[in-house]
Amino acid sequence: MVDTLALILELRPDLCRRFGFDRPERREAFLAWLVTTGAREYLVLAQDEVLRQTLTEPSEIAGLTRMQSLVLQARPDVQAAFPLPEQLAGFLQWFFSYGVTEHILWPWLLPPEPLPTVHRPFGVNLVGYAYGQLGIGEDARMAAHALVAAGVPMTMLNFEPGTGIGQNDRSMAQHVSPDGPYGINLFCLTALETGRYYAERGRAQFEGRYNIGYWPWELSRWPAQWQDLTNLVDEVWVSTQHTHDALAPVIASMARPVPLLVMPMAVELGPVAHTGSSKQRLRKHFDLPARACLFCFSFDLNSSVHRKNPQAVVDAFLQAFPVADWGPDRVGLVVKVHPPKRHHAAWERLKALAESDPRIHIVESTLQRPELLALYRTCDCFVSLHRAEGFGRGIAEALQLGMHVITTGYSGNVDFCQQPGFAPQVDLVRYRLVKVRKGQYPYAADQVWANADVQHAASRMRAFADRFATKQGASTVHPVPEGGWPVFSAATVGQRYHKRLKGA
């Protein structure tokens, strides 16, 4: 079982700060918040049998249960109206007449109703950010495409991400429904967000189904704080060997080990805007130089500027192309970002550098996916000097577009970048492992990631630009099989899903 109270504290750093637990009375204050406020936000609280039993025990106040004393603690106005012990009867009358309704306490006071036994048909309830304009939202939509391609009955259950995330990708809207009737749940969320789904929605969607966590993670060790979340699922899928190796020790230590499988994801481009336009016309559309050799990097500032490491890309570009020898008509760097929700000092420094160098082009906007792919298509080489990737969808999309790729030879992207078919298309950059510093990434303690060798990256960029100049770009476009690379196709991935799900 999952420790519900620990999960809520993991989800809510604000509650950790607010209550703390250095004094026993602070735990009581936290429990009072759970009873009077938290239960409105987290349906699973009323289904927690340990908490239910705790709340029905006698409290230190004679004549009151623990629940009643916690409500009284949270309500100074009620304390003033019914001073104890003189007004005990009056408080109890208020509690059952008004307090229970105000704080929605009936689920705790009534015996839990067992869920009816229902035969559920074969198929998948895919839980994720169905409309979210972020990488893990695209993961969910690609998983849906793969299931549809393989003929697996499926529906999508939309789960809202945090505030400030665009919700305008409606490409799979026809598959979204309010209910998940099938016998298998596939949680295409982080492990912690799967926990949030469980806490907010309760157990109903989990019980009586086979639950699979399709969980991403970028660093080399699974967070210790997430270990308990493996108890929510019957099986875990990961998209790369890198994530598998991070999670495997946790799975092996479980009292009830669950299957852990590497299940690579689909990467299909779908519609690309302006497909009839020439590269020169596209560049005019995006206000980019017509004939320069363009390198491209794309990332989300609301993710992690430290993990994505855009400064390394800029440093490698500047090292490869001294401004005295390589003008804006010969070479350029396009940096595409989602606008940040808050101030980023490192990003502001990079923008200031771009203002002083006309070869660096900043695209700071949220583009619809077809428009983003069109932006990629205007460029010649995709560069990612990330410190860690769980999968590397942007890299895989660049490969699908026939772009050359220069990328760190570490973490999830290595699974497909090292495949023989991509050898002419990919330059893997050397790196060294370094400690993740405090504040650079969640759960950074005792973690390592890769620092790409900027000098090596610069040499690869310079070699690519030299080939581009010699052949006027013709030799830098890599042929892509009709329908895309099979390793990324929804049909191939879907058949792998189908085979495994039939055995679940």
Q: What mean pLDDT do residues 56-84 have?
A: 94
Q: What is the pLDDT of residue 475?
A: 56
Q: Label residue 449 by pLDDT band (50, 70, 90).
A: very high
The two structure tokens encoding residue 282? 């596209």
Q: What mean pLDDT do residues 310-323 have?
A: 95
Q: What is the pLDDT of residue 1?
A: 76
Better-predicted residue by pLDDT, 162 or 454: 454
pTM value is 0.92
Q: What mean pLDDT do residues 6-13 have?
A: 94
In this predicted structure, the answer to whether residue 349 has a pLDDT above a threshold of 90 is: no
In this predicted structure, the answer to whether residue 504 has a pLDDT above a threshold of 70 is: no
Residues 167-211 pLDDT 10s: 888 889 999 999 999 999 999 999 999 999 999 999 999 999 999
The two structure tokens encoding residue 134? 């972020």
Better-predicted residue by pLDDT, 112 or 34: 34
Alpha helices in 357-503 (DSSP H): 369-378, 393-400, 414-417, 454-471, 490-502
* Fold assignment, 124-266+491-502: Rossmann fold (3.40.50)
In this predicted structure, the answer to whether residue 353 has a pLDDT above a threshold of 90 is: no
Alpha helices in 158-240 (DSSP H): 191-201
Residues 457-483 pLDDT 10s: 999 999 999 999 987 655 567 778 777
Q: Which residues of 114-137 are buried (b: 16+ CB within 10 A; e: fewer)?
A: eeeeeeeeebbbbbbbbbbbbbbb
Average pLDDT of the chain is 91
Q: What is the pLDDT of residue 167?
A: 80
- 339: how many CB neighbours lie within 10 A of its CB? 12
Q: What mean pLDDT do residues 319-329 have?
A: 95
Task: Compute the CA torsion angle 297, 442, 454, 243 (nearest 10 deg).
Answer: -80
Q: Which residues of 162-174 are buried (b: 16+ CB within 10 A; e: fewer)?
A: eeebbeebebbee
- Are the C-beta atoms of 137 and 166 separated by less than 8 Å? no
Q: What mean pLDDT do residues 85-106 have?
A: 94
Domain ranges of the chain: 4-109, 124-266+491-502, 279-486
Q: What is the pLDDT of residue 111?
A: 81
Q: What is the pLDDT of residue 81?
A: 96
Q: What is the pLDDT of residue 158?
A: 97
Q: What mean pLDDT do residues 207-223 have?
A: 96
CATH superfamily of 279-486: Glycogen Phosphorylase B; (3.40.50.2000)
One-character DSSP codes across 55-104: HHSB-SSTT-BHHHHHHHHH-HHHHHHS-TTTTHHHHHHHIIIIIHHHTT
Q: What mean pLDDT do residues 446-460 have?
A: 98
